[in-house]
């Protein structure tokens, strides 16, 4: 093909006047980053999914990274994902110093195969090489068999991080993907080739309060205004909840 305009586009976002007005409103406001639109956006995600906590970040890559950190992934750990995904689903484990391995896909859905997963777990247990975390990816919005993966997680003692980068709006057993019913954490991407876009953006979602506290810290450079987590008496006054979401300082 010689004419670039006749090629299939990599992505084509749909931006309307309301979107443009909303961006201009933020550009004219006091906060163009970390302002009140962030908790409002997070609330719209928890309202939609029914999950308890959501933490918006700059990309799903970051969302996966802080999710792995919150799950305690580190050197010596093993993380499994699917080979049919974007590299971020595996790289997040490498960022934490863990080893990555892949579970084969189901030939009908192209998602992680539960049969292959069960066989691999069986062998891994014998070889003392069980994964700490498994990252199923809901390819093109189609959910993995989460109930079966969740059942295996109880038998083989691993955590589940759903990479739902492609899947906001998708349903599993008639409920929204992202409700974390069968997982510890779910992430969505808001990159322009995804279902909805914030230009770049991602979000980490969980129902687990302890994980939410950790994710909040990792999202915020380890900075906290929760006095219970401080190693010294605060030098100024501060009023916040544990998740850094409401902040009033002097
Ligand atoms: C399955 C999957 N996971 C993660 C990502 C990373 O998303 P982002 O571009 O928001 O970092 C992508 C992006 O293409 C993806 O397709």
pLDDT in tens, 39-64: 999 999 999 999 999 999 999 999 99
Which residue CA neighbors atom 4 of ligand 1 most closely? 88
Instruction: Report the nearest atom of ligand 1 relative to the CA of 191.
Output: 10
Which of 194, 210, 214, 242 is an active site residue? 194
Decide if 8 is inside a domain. no
Decide if 101 is inside a domain. yes
What phi, psi does 8 have (nearest 5°)?
-65, 125
Decide if 32 is inside a domain. yes
Decide if 194 is inside a domain. yes
Which residue CA neighbors atom 12 of ligand 1 most closely? 86
Instruction: Report the nearest atom of ligand 1 relative to the CA of 189.
Output: 10
The count of domains in the chain is: 2
Q: How far is the CA of 198 from the centre of ligand 1 (A)?
A: 13
Residues 75 and 170 both lie in one domain? yes
Decide if 5 is inside a domain. no
Range of the domain at 80: 13-219
Which residue CA neighbors atom 14 of ligand 1 most closely? 86
Which residues does 233 contact at the CB level (< 8 Å), separation at least 6? none
Decide if 210 is inside a domain. yes
Q: In this predicted structure, what is the pLDDT of residue 25?
A: 97
Instruction: Report the nearest atom of ligand 1 relative to the CA of 64.
Output: 4
User: Element (H or E) spanning 159, and its range?
Assistant: strand 159-163
> Contact, 66 vs 59, CB < 8 A?
no
Residues with CB under 6 Å of ligand 1 are 59-61, 85-86, 88-89, 137, 163, 165-166, 189, 191, 202
pLDDT per residue as tens digits for the range 64-107: 999 999 999 999 999 999 999 999 999 999 999 999 999 999 99
| Whether 181 is catalytic | no
Decide if 7 is inside a domain. no
Q: In this predicted structure, what is the pLDDT of residue 242?
A: 53
Tell me if the pTM is above 0.95. no
Residues 94 and 51 both lie in one domain? yes
Residues 161 and 247 both lie in one domain? no
Residues 127 and 237 both lie in one domain? no
Residue whose tokens read 């802080």: 66
SS3 187: strand
Q: How far is the CA of 181 from the centre of ligand 1 (A)?
A: 22
Q: How far is the CA of 179 from the centre of ligand 1 (A)?
A: 19
Decide if 48 is inside a domain. yes
Beta bridge partners of 247: 240
Q: Following DSSP, what letter does each residue of 28-73 receive, concatenated?
A: TSS-SSSSTHHHHHHHHHHHHH--SEEEEES-HHHHHHHHHHHTT-
Which residue CA neighbors atom 7 of ligand 1 most closely? 60
Q: Please report, in tens digits, the pLDDT of each residue of the chain (250 residues total).
A: 556 667 888 888 999 999 999 999 999 999 999 899 999 999 999 999 999 999 999 999 999 999 999 999 999 999 999 999 999 999 999 999 999 999 999 999 999 999 999 999 999 999 999 999 999 999 999 999 999 999 999 999 999 999 999 999 999 999 999 999 999 999 999 999 999 999 999 999 999 999 999 999 999 999 887 888 788 887 776 555 555 543 433 3
Residues 196 and 240 both lie in one domain? no
**Exposed (0-12), middle (13-18) or buried (19+): which is 250, by Cβ within 10 Å?**
exposed
Q: In this predicted structure, what is the pLDDT of residue 246?
A: 39
Residues 172 and 247 both lie in one domain? no
Residues 229 and 190 both lie in one domain? no
């Amino acid at each position: 093909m010689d004419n670039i305009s006749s090629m299939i586009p990599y992505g084509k976002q749909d931006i309307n006047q309301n979107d443009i007005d909303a961006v201009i409103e933020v550009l004219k406001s006091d906060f163009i980053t970390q302002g009140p639109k962030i908790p409002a956006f997070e609330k719209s995600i928890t309202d939609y999914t029914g999950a308890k906590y959501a933490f918006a970040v700059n990309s799903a890559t970051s969302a996966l990274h802080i999710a792995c950190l919150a799950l305690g992934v580190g050197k010596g750990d093993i993380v499994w994902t699917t080979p049919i995904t974007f590299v971020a689903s595996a790289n997040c484990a490498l960022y934490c110093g863990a080893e990555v391995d892949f579970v084969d896909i189901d030939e009908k859905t192209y998602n992680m195969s539960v049969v292959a997963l069960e066989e691999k777990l069986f062998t891994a247990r014998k070889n003392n090489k069980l994964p700490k975390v498994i990252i199923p990816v809901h390819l093109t919005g189609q959910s993995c068999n989460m109930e079966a993966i969740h059942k295996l997680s109880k038998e083989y003692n691993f955590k589940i991080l759903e990479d739902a980068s492609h899947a906001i709006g998708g349903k599993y057993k008639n409920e929204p993907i992202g409700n974390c019913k069968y997982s510890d954490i779910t992430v969505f991407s808001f990159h322009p080739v995804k279902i909805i876009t914030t230009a770049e953006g991602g979000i980490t979602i969980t129902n687990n309060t302890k994980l939410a506290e950790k994710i909040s810290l990792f999202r915020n450079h380890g900075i906290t205004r929760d006095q219970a987590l401080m190693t010294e008496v605060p030098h100024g006054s501060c009023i916040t909840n544990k998740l850094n979401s409401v902040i009033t300082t002097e």
